[in-house]
Amino acid sequence: MKTIAYYSGKIETRQDGCYVGEQKIDCPQEGQSLFARPFMQSGVDEPGSSSLIILPPNSSLDIRNDSVFGAILIVVILSLFFTAILKVKIFGLTLAEYVKPIWYLVLVAIAAVFWQYIAGVTLEGTSWQLRISQLVWEAMVLVSAYKLSKIPSFSYGNMFFLVVLYSLFIHGLKVSIRYAFYGKTLWYVLDRFLYGSILVLAIAFVLGSVLVYLKKKRGNIPN
């Protein structure tokens, strides 16, 4: 049996071989996982070593499978694409009608996510910069819920679909980065996606639904 080594740190390729810092290591083989390349910040996680927040341990799914992950990613992207192209209405609104009023807020939230994985990973511990970047995308979700609640026909169902959209935009992007560049397993990224979606649910649906309720209540007040 082959012994698999795990290294912490960025793998650099030099003329005389591969290094983690100044330690020379065996270069990753061409046949290894499609996503697990030398530009990962850390080695591929050993199954069962990931810390989970919501889901219980599951050895059968705590693995890496590029085919499964890639298929899910393609299905999600194509679903959003055809929903937009065919102008499918979800709770009475098309995808464009959801996104158009808040497109710049979505971009800010996505930029905050990219910052976390480009610059934030170089910071030690839970620094104030990381906390602020977390607050940025949370604020974008809340502001989006507020803006969309101003649409006269906007309902609780619409607010729930806003949760779905932001979960895909923010946490779908996060888990894709973690799987592709940080060697995480399918079970781990599912756990993180569910956890992040619950945060979005608390911000957008719960607080947004309060805004919808207050709007409807004001609308029932006689002049």
Q: What is the pLDDT of residues 84-105, one digit of tens each?
A: 999 999 999 999 999 999 999 9
Angle, alpha carbons 185-191-60 (nearest 5°) = 50
Q: What is the pLDDT of residues 33-53, one digit of tens each?
A: 444 443 344 444 444 445 788
Q: What is the pLDDT of residue 72?
A: 94
Q: Report the chain (223 residues): mean pLDDT per 10 consecutive residues.
A: 48 62 60 40 45 84 89 95 94 93 93 80 62 85 88 85 92 90 88 90 79 69 38
Q: What is the pTM of this model?
A: 0.70
Q: What is the pLDDT of residue 37?
A: 40
Residue in 199, 174, 200, 168 with CA at minimum distance from that of residue 188: 174
Q: What is the pLDDT of residue 219?
A: 61
Label the pairing between strands 23-25 and 11-14: unpaired
What is the edge-to-edge ordering of all strands in the sheet holding 17-20? Answer: 11-14, 17-20, 23-25
Q: What is the pLDDT of residue 71?
A: 95
Q: What is the pLDDT of residue 113?
A: 87
Q: What is the pLDDT of residue 117?
A: 80
Neighbours of 3 (CB within 10 A): 4
Q: What is the pLDDT of residue 13?
A: 60
Q: What is the pLDDT of residue 87?
A: 94
Q: What is the pLDDT of residue 78?
A: 96
Q: What are the two backbone dihedrals, phi and then psi, of residue 59, each rounded to the nearest 5 degrees?
A: -65, -30
Collapsed DSSP state (helix, strand, coil) of residue 135: helix
Residues 98, 161 contacting (CB under 8 angstroms): yes
